[in-house]
Each structure stands twice: as structure tokens, then as C-alpha cells.
Structure 1
Amino acid sequence: MRRLVLVLSVFFAVPAFAADRADPACHAEIPCPLGDRSYHVREPDGWDGTSPLPVLLHFHGWMREGALIVKHRRISGATRRRGVLLLAPNGHRKTWDFWDSATDDVGFAEAVIEDAARRYPIDRARIYVSGYSFGSAMAWRYACENGNGVAALLAISGTLRQTEPCPQAPQEVRHVHGTADTVMDFPFGPGGDATYPVTLWRQKFGCDAARDEGPWQIVDWLTLDRTIWDDCRTGKVTLDIHDGGHFIPHGWIGWQLDELLGRTPAYP
């Protein structure tokens, strides 16, 4: 109910996107107000002002803010080059409440998308949800509770419990994690199972055999190992593993967006 009230209040309170977008006070590092909270938005480079925009909703890490996200080279640098609208919500007290389903942050993030849709002509079929660290766990939470309208979850170095019940799910999941991560520890499964971090989604989608794609690189100083589950009853799951720690791999977000948008993957 709280989520519905928040979304409806945004819908009726915000005028048409063309008028709102003309207001230069709400862009990039200047936040867009939304009730008693706010979010940041960054348009892609060279956008013509009318074409529908794919969206990347990205949740920042712990003690960060959306202002960092819209100038982050590995995040906004990827969206700006690929014609994707970047939305970066600000967490309450610079963090997220993702621990269980009783959170207002899912409703807030949904309201962010609806508010942005009044400002920009967004492509509803290409809404991607992402996050890093605590923000990755929040992206998982959003996909669990409100994922039916999400084309893909792009999660980096953070998960929920693999036993978490999820009433909804995105169309596709892509997760990357370092085995040496000591901040949001790599969740090895029984017997050291390195595919365990995406067990929740494999079970949700009804996936069977994995397809080992082996090592691959975006930059020459980091090797990832990719496993794909694409024989599922619904959806698709991709897991990228590296032997590093807690960071956003160079080029990873852009590479995923390229593949999802049907582009030839490129760096940066």
C-alpha cells in the first residue's frame, strides 16, 4: 500500500516530461526532488531529445550518493556512450534497506522510474536494474519484489540470501563477483561451489545444465570466467567470476549493455 501511494502521488504531481526536462535544475549532480527524497539523472551523449531511452537504474554503494554515480566512469561512462538514461536514487542516510521484503526502498525506486518517465520518453521494454556492493543487494531486492517489469538485473559484488523468497523476477540476470571479496564475501556454496551466488535465480527460472563459457577479458589486466544458464523454463542467468576483490570491473557494465541492446560489445 505504501508503495502504491508513493507511485500514485508522483504520477499525479509531476507534469509531462517535455516541460519537466526543460528545467535545467534537475540533471547530473543536481538531484531531482521526489517527496522527501531525491535521485540523480544523466542523459546519454548526443540524445536527440525525442527518441525513447533504455534505462539503467543503479543503486549506489554504502555511504555513497547518486551524485557519484552520474559522474562515475565505469557507470555513467558506459550509459552515456550507449544511448541509455541513467537513474541514480539516493539511499536514505546513504544506504539501503534490502534485508527483507518490508522495505520502503523498493517503492521509492519504483517511484523514481515513474518520475523519470514523466520527464523523459523511456523505453519500458528495456529497463535495466543495477547496483554495486550494498547497492547490488538492493538491486537484487528490487528484482525480487518488483522485477516483472525489469529486462535485466546487472549485479556487482553483492547478493541476497540464496534462500530468499522472490515473488517476482527480471527477464534476465547477470552477476559479477570476485572470489577474494572480503567486503561482500563471495558466497561459495557447499563443497566450494562457485556457481552458488546465482542459485536463487537458477531455481526461480527453472534452469538445468550450465554452459561453461570459460575465461574472457574486457581489459587485459582482469580475466573473468563466465557460466551461462540459458536452458531455463523462463529467463536466463549469467555469472562472471574473477579472482579479485570488491570493485566494479572495468567495462563490465558497458559490455552487458552492449549485449543486451544487440550491439557489438566494446570497451569502454
Structure 2
Amino acid sequence: MPLWTWTGLKAGRAATHWPLHGPDGQEGVLGMPRLDPGACAPNCQRCADSCPTQAIRFADGSPELDYGRCIVCQTCVEACPEGALQSSFDWAYGVRQREDLLWSTALTGDEAETLARRIASSQRRSLHIRHVDAGSCNGCESELNALDNPFYNLHRLGIFFTPSPRFADLLLVTGPVTATMHQPLLQTWEAMPEPRRVLACGTCAVSGAPMDNGYAGGTGLENLLPVDLWLPGCPPNPAALIHALLVLLERMPQRVLGGQYDHG
């Protein structure tokens, strides 16, 4: 008997009803750090000095946080003496524009209202995914595998993985895209029928961090393929993956705008 089947029988828990309601399976799991620039001490750069991926930089004395380079290690939270960086449980960081992972003013006005109307009127449809490992450490793959377990049961949402790019709607890429994977990745993309989309899954697929300075590292998907959705995390958890896929299908709203997380 498969392990997940036996675990489910013992626990008496069927597939979750999330995202409609019910648990998302990430209770108590730390997410991306929250930033309060107003709490920063003058001339303090301890967070930037401690960050292993250079996700935090200072310009004119103010911190700039790039969630697309964050690996959720919490080192900056531990290093900050003023509490300007705090741990959180925020994990739904799938965004349509790379710029939305940079801390700035949140999206407001007509553009936000138009997007909300599109989401509200969107028709639900199925999605077939072709996954390509472009140099991953297999952290993202372990979370992708969890999508098929009885708790998350991705198929209930009409989302499926396919072994052939010729039947795929979405190219899901993990890993920093090492030099040896450039050509196989592009060949997979070219084999997909139109319309086709791309999801950068994991911080290394978004920006290459923390391997972008290594001899065999890559710089992610930016300037390589037309990315439709950016999902940072090291690795992003199964709930974050489901949320990102539903954002892509316009069945859920984006939670992060201008680097700021909407808790509404």
C-alpha cells in the first residue's frame, strides 16, 4: 500500500477543500520576511551584509528588498537589531510581473480594478503542464511531487502534468537554467503549441540566486523566455504552487503587488 494512502487512512483526512475553504497544509510554516523601512536604524546595513543572495540592498540609505532573490532563510530577520525585518507566514508570492517582487508602492487605481474584473469574470479551464528541471537541487521537485498526494490532489482543480511538450499549455521551469540546459529548455518551448505559457518556479528560476555567481550557475529565466508568472521560494510550498497556477488561470487574485503582501 502506498505511504500516502496508509497515512490518509490513519489520519482520516481526505483531500483538502482549499482554496475554497479549509486548511492549506502550511500551518506554522515560515514564509517571506516582512519589511518595515521606517523602523531601520540610520546607517545600519546588517541585513544586507548577512543576506547570502544579495536580496537586500541599500540606495540612498533606504533598504531595497527583492523577493525574487530571497531564499526564505530568515538570516536577515535574525541580523536586524531594530525589528525592521520580521518573520511572517506569507507564502503566496506568485506574480505576473517580475517588478512586483521588488519592494515599492503597491498597485492601485484603474489597473488593479481592471484585473479584479477579469478575475471575477474568468471561466475556469483545465491546464496541462510540462515540467523541465533546468539544474534544480530537487527541492522544488519534492514540492511538485506533493501536489499529487491525497491532501492536495491537484487533479481536482483540472490541472495535470504531461510528459510531452506537444500536449502542454504551460512550461514550468525549476533550477537556475545552467548553460547545459539552455538548448533542451528552448527545444521544449519550441515544441509546445500556441498558446503557451511559462512559470518560473523557485528563486533560482526567477533570478538564479544563490547560484548565479558560481561557475556552473545560471541567471534564471529572465531574458531567456517570456515568463507569464514568477514564483520565488526555496522551495515554494505546494499551496504556493497551487495559488500560482490558479493566478495564471485567473481563478485567484495575485496577493503581492509592488513587493507588498495583501493580507485581505
- Say which structure, 1 or 2, has more relative contact order (CA 8 Å, 6+ apart): 2
The answer to whether TM tops 0.5 is no
**Which protein is richer in strand relative to its size?**
1
User: Which structure has the larger Rg over C-alpha atoms?
Assistant: 2
